[in-house]
Amino acid sequence: MDSGRFAGLRFRDHQCDVDGDRGNSGIGGRKPLILIADAHVSKVRGNAPAFFRLLEALARCDDDLVFMGDIFDLWVALPRYENELHRRFLAWCRRERRRRVIGFLEGNREFFVAASHKSAFSWCSPGPWYRDRAGLLFCHGDQINQKDYRYLTFRKISKNRVARLILKVLPLGPALAEHLKRRLKYTNPAFRRRLPVEQIEAFAEARFRDGVRTAFAGHFHRSYTYGGPPGPQMHTLPGWIGTGRVSRYNAEDGRLESLLLV
């Protein structure tokens, strides 16, 4: 790895080898892939300058990128709700997608991004996961725990056409957006205290039966690997918020590493 391409970044091994037999098509292919999860960027948190410094450093490399969701603390992708941070991020993605793959998964804190800004990315998915042609699967992870009934109900209520219409045209839209942000803090507090290992492994096994060889999830803000070579693997990824870390997957040798911004 040419660490000189990543000014301001140092690298640290994160996971062991996995099956490196990947096709040449689709995301990853034979190109390294950077995965950025759970940045929770916002003016209030004051972490936007560090996040955009990360993007500046990544602009100097050629790796494909996937944003794994919850990149912003709240992103309602409608004209009255977006700010300069969202617009600056979109502009960066539009520039970068001209020369490499830029994928984006909607997390539980992003609303209607795929409907409003799909053209800013190579692909943008509001669904529970996205699978590429090389057999890699990406999911934010907020729908993995099927026992989290409170959050799943909240998601159904808040992420639909009716909610989008209310936010778009009615005067109470901005107030409702703030209500959404507050509710996100209380939808699943019990589930945030522990990693739902059984649910993650059940999800992984279902995907493995569908032919997925390697799966990645954000949302849980911590690293965990299920499976191992020579079989398929699923990785949950560390959140950028609080750690400054993103992940880099090398499809040639199946290695997953942690990248630390310093």
Quote the tokens at residue 49. Answer: 């300058």
Handedness of CA 103, 113, 118, 213 (dihedral sign): positive
pLDDT score, position 15? 29
Give me the CATH topology for the region 9-145+195-261: Purple Acid Phosphatase; chain A, domain 2 (3.60.21)
> How far is residue 138's CA from residue 125's CA, in Å, rounded to a whole number?
10
Burial of 202 (0-12, 13-18, 19+ CB in 10 A): middle
**Among 122, 56, 115, CA closest to 89:** 56
Quote the tokens at residue 208. Answer: 């493995």
pLDDT tens string, the chain, 262 residues long: the values are: 333 344 444 433 332 222 222 233 356 457 899 999 999 999 989 999 999 999 999 999 999 999 999 999 999 999 888 999 999 999 999 999 999 999 999 999 999 999 999 999 999 999 999 999 888 999 999 999 988 888 888 788 888 888 888 777 776 666 666 666 666 665 555 545 689 999 999 999 999 999 999 999 999 999 999 997 788 999 999 999 989 999 999 988 888 999 886 5
**Among 253, 256, 145, 136, CA closest to 196:** 145
- Domain ranges in the chain are 9-145+195-261
β-pairing, 245-250 vs 123-125, is unpaired
CB neighbour list of residue 137: distance below 8 Å, 6 or more residues apart: 129, 130, 131, 207, 212, 214, 215, 216
CA distances in angstroms from 235 to 26, 113, 131, 173, 252, listed in the order given: 19, 25, 15, 37, 17
pLDDT score, position 31? 86
The model's pTM is 0.84
> How far is residue 195's CA from residue 186's CA, in Å, rounded to a whole number?
17
pLDDT score, position 6? 44
> How far is residue 48's CA from residue 157's CA, in Å, rounded to a whole number?
29
pLDDT score, position 25? 37
pLDDT score, position 11? 39
* Cα distance between the two ends of the chain: 18
**Among 35, 96, 93, CA closest to 69:** 35
Quick one: how far is CA 47 from the chain centroid? Answer: 17
